[in-house]
Amino acid sequence: MGDKVMDLLKSKLDKAHLKKLETINNKHVNEFLKKVITLCHPKDVYVCDGSDRDVKDIKDQSLAHGEERKLKWEGHTIHFDGYYDQARDKENTKFLVSENVNFDPNLNQTDRKKGLAELNEIFKGIMKDHTLYVLFFCLGPTDSRFSLPALQITDSTYVAHSEILLYRQGYEQFKKLKGSASADFFRFLHSEGELEGNVSKDIEKRRVYIDVEENIVYSVNTQYGGNTLGLKKLAMRLAINKGYREGWLTEHMFLMGVNGPGKRKGYFTGAFPSLCGKTSTSMLPGETIVGDDIAYLRIIKDKVHAVNVEKGMFGIIDGVNEKDDPILWKVLNRPYEVIFSNVLITEENLPFWKGKDPHIPEKGFNHSGQWYLGKTDSKDNEIPPAHKNARFTVSLDTLENVDENLDNPKGVEVAGIIYGGRDSDTSVPVEESFDWAHGIVTKGAALESETTAATLGKVGIRKFNPMSNLDFLSIPIGAYVEHNLKFGKKVSKPPRIYSVNYFLKDDQGNFLNSKTDKSIWIKWMAWRCHNDVKGIKTPTGIIPLYEDLKDLFKKVLDRNYTQDDYIKQFTVRIPENLAKIERVVNIYKKKVADAPQIIFKLLEEQKKRLLDAQNKMGDYISPLDLPPVDK
């Protein structure tokens, strides 16, 4: 360490914590920490080495500070964010961009110099009464080519405890970096700011700024996990940029194992926008979960492999119930380690959320303080018992269906990639693309999802969301699509690509799929990936044969599947598909600079196939009238 850095650290760290830094021996860690201490003026510094002792100490401090409270079940705690700090702050989440950098104008950004100056002013002295916690994590499995070291600095024990549940400890990983020469790690600085009633007070100064040039995320005056758990979607933005430069993918995808005959297992990734079935698919009964949110994809020996970036789950609890979510239910209602956020605490000191029980308690304590039925806020809005974005944080190893390869340093070989959205009238329940490029363009880059009344107040507005990653991109959309296309070309046999749609409706507005049908669609994909079944070629892809689905419904769900249901679900809807192509083409022409020309080429080819079929067979084509294919 340099003398000035050493003197400053000695003034804030006791010998034990200083020794932990000396053991890592990385000048970039120390210099960043010095910068933070000089700016934020914490009362003291706690360095966590990931040991059981330090982890327990942080959890105990979170309870002592009041950031978490104990609930009835052993291991269960509750954390409350401020009433107006309950979701990702999209408006104030910005990229810091230098003057001479050509950055996508579609991405929320601010001038880097101005943004850093603003942050310096906000962070100045912000931790004067707080302890600064230094934590070391690893994104992806440790000791792996997927490993990305991450340094988290925060004054929130809730953030520290949450990330301990969500991410692999990285202290040993930092020790294995190339000493003081290595600056190849992500940095995260967070402060909850001044507290009032134990929640962040200065919400108007809430900022989440992302510096992809220096691989740093700054977050301040907020406690909500999506703004403060830097290693999650914020780190995802850094990793998308890094992967783009280095030739690998960071995707907003679950990762799961699908069991087949003879103990065979195939692994699938899946990208779904919010409220489209992503978590429920990753948690399907009889299958195994590797991860529910973010995946890194790399090529190893001519095969695409993927890992879960995390080792835990920060999930929406709204609607979780014993019937539909039996595995999660068991964890949330037993003495496991769980952090609940923004649910209701009942008089029995138990968590309550929407969907847990039809009987709503008459009173309790929630994010608004003491709560009772009919309570309203300052704008006369009725306050529900639990926030609709209430969350739970658990470690995946508490789930009985966790996959044995969760921490495999080589990851798992990917058999198929799934894209799913909320679509009431166009896409069939499951369909395979013709090839990698066709799948990336027509199923990934053309992904849309309809809004719901619960999110925006208007139903059926189609939102363009390529690969379900639009909110988290740190590179231009056109470059992102091109990057995906090139990635598949690097292997001789890339994973197959599928689309799913759980929300198809009939003319009366009734869903044509039941909640459990997704088990069938994913089993069919697994069969297709191993060439166990044929398919039917449509103008937009390959769909299942009725006989195969009938067999699967009986074997998996013990249900009879009628030919009438099959025809309704898998009819090719030509006018709706043509309208979608027109919408997507217009977006790429008008809003996406430097969109790869292959997007327009493949969509035009798909349009021609649809028009040819329409001329021959009409607007709506029964799957029984289309020919099967061998491959």
pLDDT at position 552 is: 96
Enumerate residues 6+ apart whose C-beta is below 8 A from 178: none
Element holding 600 (H helix, E strand): helix 597-617
- Rounded (5°) CA angle 144-146-147: 70
Residue 307: its pLDDT value, please? 98
* DSSP, residue by residue, 68-107: SEE-SSTTEEEE---TT--S--STTEEEEE-TT----TTS
| 438-471 residue pLDDT tens | 999 999 999 999 976 444 346 678 999 999 999 9
pLDDT of residue 455: 42
What is the helix (H) or strand (E) element at residue 549, kind and residue range? helix 546-552
3-class state of residue 623 by DSSP: helix
d(CA 581, CA 575): 10
Residue with tokens 């910005």: 94
Q: Catalytic site residue 40?
A: no
Structure tokens at 79: 């954390």
Please give the pLDDT value at position 57. Answer: 97
Length of the chain: 631
pLDDT at 524: 97
Q: Which residues of the chain have pLDDT under 70?
A: 1-3, 452-459, 631
SS3 content of the chain, % helix, strand, coil (to 5): 35, 25, 40
Separation CA 101–CA 115 (nearest Å): 15
What pLDDT, on a 0 to 100 scale, did the predictor assign at position 458?
Answer: 61
Catalytic residue among 40, 48, 276, 529: 276
CA distance 218 to 232: 13
Q: Which domains are present in the chain?
A: 3-67+85-247 (3.40.449.10), 254-304+410-629 (3.90.228.20)
* DSSP state at residue 213: T
Rounded distance between C-alpha atoms, residue 154 and residue 619, angstroms: 58
pLDDT at 426: 96
Contact 544, 524 (CB under 8 A): yes
- In this predicted model, what pLDDT tens digit does every residue of 346-380 receive, in sequence order? 999 999 999 999 999 999 999 999 999 999 999 99
Q: Is 255 exposed, middle or buried (0-12, 13-18, 19+ CB in 10 A)?
A: buried
